[in-house]
Amino acid sequence: MDHSYWQRQTADKPLFPDLLWSRPENRAHAGKLLIVGGNAHGFAAAAEAYALANSAGAGKIRVLLPDALQKSVGPMFAAGEYAPSTPSGSFAQTALGELLPMAHWADGVLLAGDLGRNSETAILIEKFLTKHPGQVTLTKDAIEYITSQPALVRERANTLLVLSFSQLQKLAVELKFPIAFTSGMDLLRAVDALHELSGAFPFAIITRHLDNLLVAIGGQVSSTPCKVDERVWRLKKASSAAVWRLQNPSKPFEALTTAVA
């Protein structure tokens, strides 16, 4: 069987070294990223994503948090900006008034997680993904809003999902994708399934299976061996991928593959 759509990368042999050498040297030309996350009980994901994106080389970064955090977080996290929150401390749907203009300013948006489970936040994310056509990366519990409303990404381009294999399983079921993603499938079967899934839908995927990070977009798949801690890999790779992708918008597969190395 022809597997020309599958490319293998190692840490010491990147598939696209030209991207590494062509990165912007000046931060002013390195792209603008908006990070969104947090709820009244925590903002660790947004704060960590800020540090990770800065290390990945983002030019300018803004961070949007629910205003329930402003009193407790404001003095210690100067990068934070705030939008309306619900009584429980998650983003309210009226936060769209702040979110859309900030997303328009940015070259890419990262929904970093710690959003909590809230019906108003679900409405906010639905309206945002419907109204904003630009690059959006989702990870951690932001993915749960997608698996419960798969129509939001069924036909949305410029979307990257950085998700666990179990989240991928659930998404495939909700999309009524005919191939099952199972924990026992070997790497070749997983690659084949991602090839089919990414060929059928316009969003990009980064997931982890059998100690490999798998990138899939437009029917192309890359694999990169990894030893990343399962508890932290999603946010780390999502932050890096969001930066690489906004800096290389015409080469999404190459950018995402380089980002996971």
Q: How far apart are CA 111 and CA 161, in angstroms?
A: 10
Tell me, what's the pLDDT at 50? 97
Q: Which three-class secondary structure string do you get for 181-240?
A: CCCCCCHHHHHHHHHHHHHHCCCEEEEEECCEEEEEECCEEEEEECCCCCCCHHHHHHHH
- For the entire predicted model, the pTM comes to 0.97
- Alpha carbon 139 to chain centroid, angstroms: 5
Domain boundaries, the chain: 6-259
Tell me, what's the pLDDT at 202? 98
- Alpha carbon 124 to chain centroid, angstroms: 17
Tell me, what's the pLDDT at 159? 98
How far is the first Cα of the chain from the last one, in angstroms, to the nearest whole number? 27
Q: Which three-class secondary structure string do you get for the chain?
A: CCCCCEEECECCECCCHHHHHCCCCCHHHCCEEEEEECECCECHHHHHHHHHHHHHCCCEEEEEEEHHHHHHHCCCCCCEEEECECCCCCECHHHHHHHHHHHHHCCEEEEEECCCCCHHHHHHHHHHHHHCCCEEEEECCHHHHHHHCCHHHHCCCCEEEECCHHHHHHHHHHCCCCCCCCCCCCHHHHHHHHHHHHHHCCCEEEEEECCEEEEEECCEEEEEECCCCCCCHHHHHHHHHHHHHHHCCCCHHHHHHHHCC
Strand partners, 33: 61, 108
Tell me, what's the pLDDT at 2? 76
Residues with Cβ within 8 Å of 5's Cβ and at least 6 positions away in sequence, in order, are: 195, 219, 220, 221
**Of 189, 188, 215, 213, nearest in space to 203 by CA:** 215
Contact 147, 174 (CB under 8 A): yes
Q: How far apart are CA 172 and CA 214, in angstroms?
A: 16
Tell me, what's the pLDDT at 231? 64
Tell me, what's the pLDDT at 25? 80
From the first residue on, what is the mean pLDDT of each consecutive set of 10 residues in the chain (261 residues)?
Answer: 90 93 86 97 95 97 97 88 97 98 98 96 98 98 96 97 97 97 97 98 97 97 83 92 97 98 91
> May I ask the CATH class of domain 6-259?
alpha beta
**Of 46, 53, 115, 49, nearest in space to 81 by CA:** 46
